[in-house]
Structure 1
Amino acid sequence: MTGNGAERAARALADSGIEHAITRHGPVRSLEEAAAARGLEPRDVLKTLVVRRGADDYLFVLVPGGREISWPKLRAHLGVNRLSMPDAETARDVTGYVRGTITPFGSTHPWPVVADSSILGRPVSIGGGDHGVAATAQADDIVRVLQADVADVTDPADSA
């Protein structure tokens, strides 16, 4: 399913009308390597995480590098008591992308998007649908075209 993932994501990005650049690079082993390969700071590399709210009810959460989902903040923001991360197979089934390549752009289902408020006001890189592929665009444009719900839903990642 990853073979056409990059094409699907690129088509969705082009159709969105936002200015963006596609970057293709080899395998990376860390956030820092991904950022360097994309010419950005680690905080500008977004992870797109799939979160399960309930049966057949998922959402994407855009999390900047060096941060992680704050489950209490996200639950409070969404007004729910339980959230979970689906296993890799379920994430692929509900998005059309394998973990490490997931993006809301070109997902096989248009799940709602929550973007951490710390991403705004700068260029960021988001997954491009396949390993070693990313798209860089203005975060505010990404938020606008995805109709993302912007909220403080992350905390600094533990460095321990």
Structure 2
Amino acid sequence: MAKTNAVRLLDSWEIQYKLLDYEVDLEDLAAESTARKLNLASEQLFKTLVVRSNTNNLYFAVIPSNTQLNLKALAKLAGERKVEMIAVKELKSLTGYIRGGVTAIASKKDYPVYVDETIEVFERIAVSAGVRGTLIMLATQDYLQVVKGKIGAIALFTET
């Protein structure tokens, strides 16, 4: 795999990581499916979502793959009245990444990053490497340092 911007940034910070490759199914880009393919606990694979506030600020929300984003909790944490998901068609122009490959590491712009508090349960987590088909497994503290992540309760756990 060619090095992504995310991988190059981790290399420049001299951060240890492991790349995990998986088969991409365009019919099912769900992070939970990716976790299953790699035998990862779905709560250890964090998906990165992009939201826009009513004041037009953009934020990354990083939550476990088996959860949904609590928009109200994120808005409150970010000091906004309201936030909503951006349209998939806007992802590439705003972040440089496409759906299924979004990461807060080395995005086109350094938007504020909010991470669900459950991240602290794990020594290591997996996040997208910036392309579909590859994840980065790295130390949680390294990830939080690189993305300047702010921690809060922003995930909604749904019964499966």
Which TM-score tier does this pair reach, normalised by the shorter chain? 0.7 to 0.9
User: What whole-Å deviation, never above 9, does each CA across 1:81-103 have from its counterpart, x for those lacking one?
Assistant: 11111111212111000111000
Aligned match of 2:10: 13
Question: TM-score w.r.t. structure 2 length?
Answer: 0.86
In structure 1, distance between residues paired with 2:140 and 2:102: 17
Shift in Å, 1:31: 4.0
Aligned match of 2:145: 144
Q: Which runs of 5+ in 1 are unaligned?
A: none
Distance 1:77 1:93, change over 3 A: same
Q: CA RMSD in A?
A: 2.1
2:96 corresponds to 1:99 = no
In structure 1, distance between residues paired with 2:107 and 2:49: 12
Q: Give runs of ≥4 in structure 1 deviating > 4 Å.
A: none
In structure 1, distance between residues paired with 2:85 and 2:99: 12
The aligned length equals 156
Aligned residue identity for 1:96:
G
Superposition map of 1:103-114 within 5 A: 103-114=103-114
Question: TM-score w.r.t. structure 1 length?
Answer: 0.86
Shift in Å, 1:46: 0.7
Instruction: Indicate conservation of the 8 Å contact 1:12/1:106, yes or no.
Output: yes
Aligned residue identity for 2:20:
T
Instruction: Indicate conservation of the 8 Å contact 2:53/2:75, yes or no.
Output: no
Distance 1:63 1:82, change over 3 A: same
Shift in Å, 1:14: 1.6
Aligned residue identity for 1:114:
Y
Which 10-residue stretch deviates more, 11-20 or 32-41? 32-41
2:61 corresponds to 1:61 = yes
